[in-house]
Amino acid sequence: MIVRDALPADALAVAEFQTRTWDECYAGLVPDAFLRAQRVPERLARWTETLVTGARECALAEEPGSGEVTGVVSWIPGEPHWELRSLYVAAHHRGTGLAAALLLRAVGERPAQLWVFRENLRARRFYARHGFTVVPGSDHLDAATGVPEVRMSRS
Ligand SMILES: CC(C)(COP(=O)(O)OP(=O)(O)OC[C@H]1O[C@@H](n2cnc3c(N)ncnc32)[C@H](O)[C@@H]1OP(=O)(O)O)[C@@H](O)C(=O)NCCC(=O)NCCS
């Protein structure tokens, strides 16, 4: 697997990958109306802006040869914590270590924080294994989806 910086030219591939991952992982967790409203064109517009402006750092994993995207991670450096903004791995690459490689690429072993859906137990367990703990009292409703999420932090 190749892991490299994402470029503005990757915006469509990232938007398509993110849309597939949300449909697959978050059906039943995120309201259908949100999933129906957030299709490739909407995500493409946001990723294009993000990658052009550099508002977030972003890296992707791709299959050598085919160039198929198998994972995406984005983050924002900061003090004292770096912010992990998104991490997605294709279904057939979960449990392989690719997610860990992308996390390392993004925030290394630094102090870092993230938001995760409260019921996303697989992701919470993954982050816990990488040293993140839930910030007590951090439960709130994600503004975009209305879904409960919790803050996880590593120092
Ligand atoms: C979250 C994600 C990046 C983690 O990568 P991964 O390759 O699946 O992670 P791993 O398999 O290494 O670790 C997942 C942990 O959850 C466990 N797990 C697997 N399925 C589970 C489930 N349904 N419920 C709870 N735990 C589960 C695994 O056993 C493992 O725990 P362990 O290390 O203690 O054995 C990946 O699952 C993913 O892309 N999910 C979809 C998008 C997403 O939810 N992103 C996070 C947004 S904050």
pLDDT of residue 59: 98
pLDDT of residue 21: 96
Domain spans in the chain, listed from the N-terminal domain onward:
2-110
pLDDT of residue 120: 97
Residue owning the nearest CA to atom 8 of ligand 1: 94
Report d(CA 116, CA 35) in Å as an integer: 17
Domain 2-110 indexed as CATH 3.40.630.30: yes
Q: Quick one: which atom of ligand 1 is closest to the CA of 95? A: 11
pLDDT of residue 129: 98
Instruction: Show the low-confidence residues of the chain (pLDDT under 50).
Output: none
Q: Is 28 exposed, middle or buried (0-12, 13-18, 19+ CB in 10 A)?
A: exposed
pLDDT of residue 4: 97
pLDDT of residue 47: 97
pLDDT of residue 140: 96
Residue owning the nearest CA to atom 16 of ligand 1: 122
21 lines ligand 1 (CB under 6 A): yes
